[in-house]
């Protein structure tokens, strides 16, 4: 008998808000976290705007000891720890200091890179014959599983502790991996989510590919334009999103607040066949991923109230909408509402899906649909597929029962998860 799985804790580190309260206020009011980036200007990037969470030295010390912060230089781990521990506390769970591990609790926390600035620092020290000055935490900060290792140690987790990595699909995948582990009775509770490093050494490759916008350097908050006719590429950003998911019986037994239920989902790949490539999706696989996710969740397409899309402000936005219309067999005025968090925070790469899942769950729990900003000039191809009132540009206060969240990443990988009001 498969276990039912619910969400009991949320944590967020975003360019437009660190912490649930400020982040919720921002997405309800269409507040952008995109700003002009002096470092990108200095380095002569084409795109000179970005979304970077604001983390003060005082805030760091609420999560790390002075010893841990010595020689620490990993923004991805920093964001992930803050989001992860906040989600744990939000779930009403104590941070134990027991000698024994907690065998029932684990974490699957994804990332694309780990400590890219620490790597750069280490390379220079090695080249200058200063290997012994790397510090004892250089490995922990730069290994792929650094984020899950840090979280596992801080929380004393004794169940599965691992890191996944699937480009922009990473966060959705991490949630589904944790969901399946609980569903199968192998864990009572999992801390899931994803994070991403920030800065030019993570964003440079995308700028070189010309997939980042360069037309809005003088108007940063107008730069991220999903579904817009004048979209010209994504705005690079960073952050982390975290969710505590647990067995329904366990949550009820401890009187936990329940944000929403996870009904099911699916991950797949287009195999870089057909129209699929390293950087472009295979539409057949995208549609199959959505259809199989609904089948796994035992949900009909007609039951979907809202889609939180991937929608990056590139030329693929219209194709994504077309794939949704085909997978759901719904279009025009019959199409669900759809929105894009990236309009306010940019594209945070491996962190993006988990941050969007946090925003999705907040909409279900509080009963609202956040606006997609900067799409006042809606893409003409999209307008031919769905009714324009299905893309809210102002906050809608409305009870939301069922939401589909999908992510599509480099490598032609896809993920879709179905959330339901509890």
State yes or no: pLDDT of 340 exceeds 80. yes
Q: What span, in angstroms and rounded, lies between the C-alpha atoms of 175 and 191?
A: 9
> Residue 128 — very low, low, confident or very high, per pLDDT cuts 50/70/90?
low
406 has which bridge partners? 416
Q: Are residues 245 and 178 in contact, defined by beta-carbon separation less than 8 angstroms?
A: yes
Predicted pLDDT of residue 118: 79
| CA distance readout (Å), 29 to 32, 69, 369 | 9, 35, 11
State yes or no: pLDDT of 304 exceeds 90. yes
> Residue 121 — very low, low, confident or very high, per pLDDT cuts 50/70/90?
confident
Predicted pLDDT of residue 120: 74
State yes or no: pLDDT of 123 exceeds 80. no
> Residue 124 — very low, low, confident or very high, per pLDDT cuts 50/70/90?
low
Q: Do domains 5-260 and 264-420 have the same CATH topology?
A: yes
Q: Please check whether the domain covering 5-260 is classified as CATH 3.40.47.10.
A: yes
Q: What span, in angstroms and rounded, lies between the C-alpha atoms of 168 and 186?
A: 27
State yes or no: pLDDT of 133 exceeds 70. no
> Residue 116 — very low, low, confident or very high, per pLDDT cuts 50/70/90?
confident
For the residues 353-370, what does the mean pLDDT come to?
98
* In the chain, % of residues over pLDDT 70: 98
> End-to-end distance of the chain based on CA atoms, in angstroms?
20
What integer best gives the mean pLDDT of the chain? Answer: 95
State yes or no: pLDDT of 357 exceeds 80. yes
State the helix-helix crossing angle for 20-28 and 352-366, rounded to 10 degrees: 80
H, E, C per residue of the chain: CCCCEEEEEEEEEECCEECHHHHHHHHHCCCCCCEECHHHHHCCCCCCEEECCCCCHHHHCCCCCHHHHCCCCCHHHHHHHHHHHHHHHHCCCCCCCCCCCECCEEEEEEECCCCHHHHHHHHHHHHCCCHHHCCCCHHHHHCCCHHHHHHHHHHCECCCEECCCECECHHHHHHHHHHHHHHCCCCCEEEEEEEECCCHHHHHHHHHCCCECCCCCCCHHHCCCCCECCCCCECEECEEEEEEEEEHHHHHHCCCCCCEEEEEEEEEECCCCCCCCCCCCCHHHHHHHHHHHHHHHCCCHHHCCEEECCCCCCCCHHHHHHHHHHHHCCCECCCCEEECCHHHHCECHHHHHHHHHHHHHHHHHHCEECCCCCCCCECHHHHCCECHHHCCCCCEECCCCEEEEEEEECCCEEEEEEEECC
Q: Are residues 40 and 49 in contact, defined by beta-carbon separation less than 8 angstroms?
A: yes
- Tokens of residue 96, six digits: 């134990």
State yes or no: pLDDT of 397 exceeds 90. yes
Summarize pLDDT for 177-226 with one digit per residue, the tens. Answer: 999 999 999 999 999 999 999 999 999 999 999 999 999 999 999 999 99
State yes or no: pLDDT of 84 exceeds 70. yes
Q: What span, in angstroms and rounded, lies between the C-alpha atoms of 157 and 103?
A: 7
Give the number of residues written for the chain. Answer: 422
The highest-confidence range among 94-98, 142-146, 247-251, by mean pLDDT, is 247-251
State yes or no: pLDDT of 70 exceeds 90. no
> Residue 379 — very low, low, confident or very high, per pLDDT cuts 50/70/90?
very high
Q: What span, in angstroms and rounded, lies between the C-alpha atoms of 185 and 77?
A: 29
161 has which bridge partners? 107
Superfamily of domain 264-420: Thiolase/Chalcone synthase (3.40.47.10)
> Would you tell me how many other CB atoms lie within 10 Å of the CB of residue 15?
27
The domain ranges of the chain are 5-260, 264-420
Summarize pLDDT for 150-167 with one digit per residue, the tens. Answer: 999 999 999 999 999 999
């Amino acid at each position: 008998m498969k276990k039912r799985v619910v969400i009991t804790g949320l944590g967020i580190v975003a360019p437009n808000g660190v912490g649930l309260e400020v982040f919720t206020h921002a997405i309800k009011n269409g507040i952008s976290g995109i700003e002009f980036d002096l470092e990108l200007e200095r380095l002569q990037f084409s795109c000179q705007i970005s979304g970077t969470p604001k983390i003060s030295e005082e805030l760091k010390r609420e999560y790390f000891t002075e010893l841990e912060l010595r020689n620490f230089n990993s923004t991805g781990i920093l964001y992930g720890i803050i989001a992860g521990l906040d989600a744990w506390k939000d779930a009403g769970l104590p941070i134990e200091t027991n000698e024994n591990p907690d065998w029932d609790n684990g974490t699957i926390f994804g990332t694309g890179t780990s400590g890219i600035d620490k790597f750069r620092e280490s390379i220079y020290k090695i080249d200058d014959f200063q290997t012994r000055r790397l510090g004892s935490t250089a490995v922990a900060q730069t290994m792929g599983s650094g984020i899950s290792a840090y979280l596992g140690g801080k929380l004393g987790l004794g169940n599965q502790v691992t890191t996944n990595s699937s480009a922009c699909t990473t966060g959705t995948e991490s949630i589904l991996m944790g969901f399946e582990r609980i569903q199968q009775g192998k864990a009572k509770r999992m801390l899931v989510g994803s994070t991403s490093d920030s800065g030019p050494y993570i964003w440079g490759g995308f700028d070189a590919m010309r997939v980042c916008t360069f037309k809005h350097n003088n108007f940063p908050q107008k730069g991220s334009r999903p579904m817009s006719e004048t979209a010209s590429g994504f705005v690079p950003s960073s952050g982390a999103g975290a969710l505590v998911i647990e067995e329904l019986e366990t949550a009820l037994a401890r009187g936990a607040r329940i944000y929403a239920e996870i009904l099911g989902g699916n991950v797949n790949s287009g195999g870089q066949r057909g129209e699929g490539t390293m950087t472009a999706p295979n539409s057949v696989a995208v549609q199959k991923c959505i259809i199989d996710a609904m089948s796994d969740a035992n949900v009909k397409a007609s039951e979907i109230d809202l889609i939180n899309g991937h929608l990056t402000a590139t030329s693929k936005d219209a194709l994504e909408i077309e794939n949704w219309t085909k997978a759901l067999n719904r279009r025009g005025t019959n199409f669900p509402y759809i929105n894009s968090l990236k309009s306010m925070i940019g594209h945070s790469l491996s962190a993006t899906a988990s941050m969007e899942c946090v925003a999705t769950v907040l909409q279900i729990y509080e009963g609202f649909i956040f606006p997609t900003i900067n799409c006042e000039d809606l893409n003409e191809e999209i307008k031919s597929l769905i009714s324009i009132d299905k893309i809210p540009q102002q906050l809608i206060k409305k009870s939301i029962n069922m939401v589909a969240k999908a992510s599509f990443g480099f490598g032609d990988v896809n993920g879709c998860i179905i959330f339901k009001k509890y």
